[in-house]
Structure 1
């Protein structure tokens, strides 16, 4: 079987992905106002866009932590569109001090995260997870809530924490930003390839932090992971695509 790239976590979608060799785009949301846009894109590109709906731990462009009231508008839409969704996401925790300065912020984020995990379990969907400055508690929460299918995107925790996630069956994805330096090489080395996926997180987390990330850059993270692991880019492309399809079984693709 011929495998193309699977971008497991992205915030934009258009024909430029197909030109970059991306066969499937797992499109996540951050706020409820984005839900319709992602669903519309899936209608336009049904063989390319695989929609996820979710509330990011930071809202209003990162100005505040999510709170339980934000779920009021989102929850009915999860159920309304359950048949179209391939996952719940982007959800998770962000304990960066300047983003979630108070204990109340962290409690609100955790409450909303757990509620969305509950929805994912009820709908039998995997989750697409954010874990900035909260790697250990995010993985602990996933395990405590009985989650078995999760992608921890742009993971930057310690290798020992990642391996706890590996033991739980979770997958980890890395964007082109990992090519900027070697800070996460040890992490990538220790996570088995069978637990790794590719992402661009476009338009953020590109090779140059000051430039818009583009779909074609998915090949950069593929090549970097291959170099770190001493494998061919073709092997990494194929295995990560297989991993993605295992994690997101509802993905429609012509691979």
Structure 2
């Protein structure tokens, strides 16, 4: 008997899923996904992800995090401001027992979103503070690193972070190797197989699994089993929050 897939980084609390959530959840279950490590990007999602855990206690494992970019996609998107995290800090500690990780956090130095040194400094301040929250709460971190991969890995090492998932990593192989040596794990979204869909959702983890299996010359079942074991090792609190059904 094998455990099912663990989606280590999903945005099920995002408003884009509000209208067809039940359909998304049904497709998730049908694909054999047993756990959703559900990250947030802004404080307005915190209550939503907790509500989803209450609604789907056998599936949703909640995280709290403030993303380095805030606002809607496009011209309105901007770097996070330190005061936005400060206002949210009490929530991390109030709900500490329900959280399985801190995320989505990180750095995004995309030029049009972090045009000034002040923007980058603000992101770094928010990132380091959330790394410290993770250490204080003894939780792993779920990390975004666009146009800032080397800085993200160096910062986590400097801060003494040992448990991290680098999501959709796009840095150089040499930088990724530094992360591997530090003990960090990496996740691969369906984009690795050039999936051109408009919106991603948890059931598409099957696409990533097949692609990894093809690249490594393994069976999909082996990839599912090993990645699931990695996920449970990185997110040990998942076992306390989610009831598993084997198949």
In the TM superposition, what are the counterparts of 1:74-113 in structure 2 within 5 Å? 74-113=88-127
Residue of structure 2 equivalent to 1:188: none
Q: Is the 8 A contact 2:5 2:228 kept in 1?
A: yes
SS in 2 for 1:223: helix
For structure 1, list consecutive stretches of 5 or more residues without a partner in the other structure: 181-206
User: What does 1:1-255 correspond to in 2, within 5 Å?
Assistant: 1-12=1-12, 14-62=25-73, 63-180=77-194, 207-209=195-197, 211-251=198-238, 252-254=242-244, 255=246
Higher relative contact order (CA 8 A, sep 6+): 2
Which stretch of structure 1 is more off in the superposition, 80-89 or 14-23? 14-23
Whether the aligned pair in 1 keeps the contact of 2:10 and 2:201 (CA below 8 Å) is: no
Task: Show structure 2 runs of 5+ residues with no match.
Answer: 13-20
Preserved contact between residue 47 and residue 253 of structure 1 (Cα < 8 Å): yes
Contact 1:24 1:253 in 2 (8 A): no
TM-score (norm 2): 0.89
Cα deviation code 1:121-161 (max 9, x no counterpart): 00000000000111110000010000000000001111111
Contact residue 6 and residue 231 of structure 2 kept, 8 A? yes
Question: Given the two structures, how large is their TM-score scaled by the length of structure 1?
Answer: 0.87
Distance 1:73 1:29 in 2: 15
